[in-house]
Amino acid sequence: MNTTIVEQDNETTKKILPVILATAIFMQMLDSTILNTSITSIARDLNESPLEMQNAIISYVLTLALFMPVSGFLSDKFGTRKVFIFALFLFSLGSLFCALSQNLTHLVFARVVQGIGGSLMTPVGKLALIRTFPKKELLQAMNFAIIPALIGPVLGPLVGGYMVDYLSWHWIFLINIPFGILGILLSLKYMPDYKSPLIDFDLKGFLIFAAASLLLSVALELFGNTVQVSPVLALFMSGFLMLYWYYRHAVTDNNPLFPLNLFQVRTFRVGIIGNLATRLGFSSIPLLLPMMIQIAYRESAVTSGWIVAPMALTAMFGKSAVIRILNTFGYRKTLMVNTFIIGALICALALPSIHTSIYWYVPIIAVLGFFNSIQFTSMNSISIADLRVYHTSSGNSLVSVNQQLAIGFGIAFGLLVLKIFQGDVKLIHNEIHNAFRYTFLVVGFLTILSGFVFRRLHFKDGDNLKSSV
């Protein structure tokens, strides 16, 4: 009888846990993108220059970079349930503080509180998912939970635009609170509490790696908002030097924050590198396409949001198809072909001319959403496919940090290419739309090339994740 009750509780947890993680990811992804739409309105209300408001974005990003590497240790030390609920509480509290902010200083402080919560929510929730589901069921669970990461960046600007126009900027933060309360209530009952009996925190390694993440994140944030290249390059170089210092430290330390033998696992190594390489290509598209529609076509922010919105809908269809595709073709073939298709679709964004209707972009972006969904699920699941139990905490944290930096690198790269073409007046014939078209071609071609990273996978890699679904 007791065994039956335990099994029923376990099955209920398996049904609810992906929902809890999806709620947390949606909150974080929506919040990360919705603010960009509202910066001007917030600046006006707080009597600040819109240029100064960048501090509200940078403070959040830097806090993520600082605390995300320690998420695995905190989970092992205090338990996934306590840390996850604490993260949800902090994120919700920070959202309330943001809405109540009376000046920029208050807003920056509130964003730091949000950032601490955000840095723990997704990695800890994902860690609980990995430890709850057997490998055969993990792909399906992660496939459901990861969808908000696809639709959040797409819906964020659209929702933000409507809220600023018809309500007030305060609501872009207040919208997080009911989601946070729901997540806390569900977590109190259904979030498993995993701990590790062997804990030895690598403080020196954490400080070195956190410094590297901070320097790289600052450089990425400053890149799009400064005309002085030298300081940004200096920060980049400093960040990479700190990464090298961490490598030297990890070679000699008995229990480093991120053990180097993680990279001896082929699927983890390819997943990390592939994630970084492919995001360098397509991470800038949700930013560049709405920007082009507003600047080149002179359409409103809401219109540009509706043009991109179909990507969120087709991502749902991709979710329903990805498990069947991976079961049929395997990870190696799926990722190589899928990356090529995504690159070709990004290149196709360069086809419509300035005289073409903007609605020609809708079918391209809709198909892109479908294949993006397959890409994210495949890359995220193959990265943790062969991790041993004692590596799940550190490996999962490193995957999260890598994704955060990869998105930043992708956006920075897209903006850099755009600036280069924008400055070549002869090449673009003094037409800004052509600069965007050439940028799509470069970014798309780079994405196609990144697909060759997945050639390093064996054709049987990921078989342990395949299910009968």
- pLDDT higher for 406 or 32? 406
- The predicted structure's pLDDT at residue 114: 92
Q: How do the domains of the chain map onto residue ranges?
A: 1-199, 203-256, 258-469
pLDDT of residue 405: 80
Question: What's the mean pLDDT in 4-31?
Answer: 72
Which of 20-34, 43-57, 178-192, 255-269 is predicted with the least confidence, judged by mean pLDDT? 43-57
Using the predicted structure, report yes or no on whether residue 333 has a pLDDT greater than 80: yes
Whole-number percent of the chain with pLDDT over 70: 87
CB 260 within 8 A of CB 205: no
pLDDT of residue 443: 92
Residue 422 CA to residue 434 CA, distance in Å, equals 8
Structure tokens given for 350? 């360069």
Is residue 188 within 8 A of residue 67, CB to CB? The reply is no
- pLDDT value at residue 23: 83
* Contact criterion met (CB below 8 Å) for 152 and 33: yes
Of residues 319 and 53, more confidently modeled: 319
8 A C-beta contact, residue 313 and residue 369: yes
pLDDT of residue 54: 66
Instruction: Indicate whether 116 pLDDT > 70.
Output: yes
Q: Is pLDDT larger for residue 468 or for residue 32?
A: 32
pLDDT of residue 435: 87
CA distances from 177 to 51, 52, 174, 246, 403 (A): 28, 26, 6, 38, 25
Max CA pair span of the chain: 79
Residue 170 tokens, joined: 């305060």
Residue 224 burial class via C-beta count within 10 angstroms: exposed 0-12, middle 13-18, buried 19 and up: middle
Which pLDDT band holds residue 345 (cuts at 50, 70, 90)? very high
| Torsion (CA) 52, 243, 413, 427 in degrees, nearest 10 | 110
Q: What is the CATH number of domain 1-199?
A: 1.20.1250.20
Rg (CA), the chain: 22
In whole angstroms, give the CA distance from residue 258 to residue 202: 9
Chain centre to alpha carbon of residue 252: 32
Stretch 166-191: mean pLDDT, rounded?
A: 86
Asked if residue 262 lies in contact with residue 276, where contact means CB atoms within 8 angstroms, the answer is: no
- Which is higher by pLDDT, 165 or 289? 289
246 against 320, higher pLDDT? 246
Tell me which amino acid residue 229 is.
Answer: V
Average pLDDT (184-203) is 82
pLDDT at position 37 is 62
- Strand, coil or helix: what is 255? coil
* pLDDT exceeds 80 at position 106: yes
d(CA 133, CA 129): 6
- In this prediction, residue 347 carries a pLDDT of 93
Dist CA 190 CA 22 (whole Å): 14
Give 95-100's long-range contacts (Cβ < 8 A, gap of 24+).
95/31, 95/173, 95/174, 95/176, 95/177, 95/180, 96/173, 96/174, 96/177, 98/173, 99/170, 99/171, 99/173, 99/174
Question: What confidence tens digit (pLDDT) does each residue in 137-154 have?
Answer: 777 777 777 776 666 666
Q: Which one has a higher pLDDT value, 216 or 343?
A: 343
Domain 258-469, architecture per CATH: Up-down Bundle (1.20)
| pLDDT at residue 60, as a whole number | 82
Q: Is the pLDDT of residue 177 over 60?
A: yes
- C-alpha to C-alpha distance for 392 and 401, rounded to whole angstroms: 14
Residue 452 CA to residue 274 CA, distance in Å, equals 9
Tell me, what's the pLDDT at 113? 92
- Do 1-199 and 258-469 share a fold? yes
What pLDDT score was predicted for residue 440? 92
Kindly give, in sequence order, each residue whose CB lies less than 8 Å from that of residue 48, ignoring residues fewer than 6 positions away.
42, 103, 104
Q: What is the mean pLDDT of residues 324-336?
A: 89
DSSP class of residue 212 equals: H
Residue 421 amino acid letter:
F
User: Which pLDDT belongs to residue 232?
Assistant: 78
Task: Find the mean pLDDT for residues 243-269.
Answer: 85
The winner for highest mean pLDDT among 18-27, 310-319, 418-427, 452-461 is 452-461
Other CB atoms within 10 Å distance of the CB of residue 216: 23
* Cβ atoms within 10 Å of 260's Cβ, excluding its own: 12
In the predicted model, is pLDDT for residue 219 greater than 70?
Answer: yes
Residue of 441, 290, 447, 448 whose CA lies nearest to 361 = 290
Q: Would you state the pLDDT for residue 416? A: 81
Amino acid letter for position 282: F
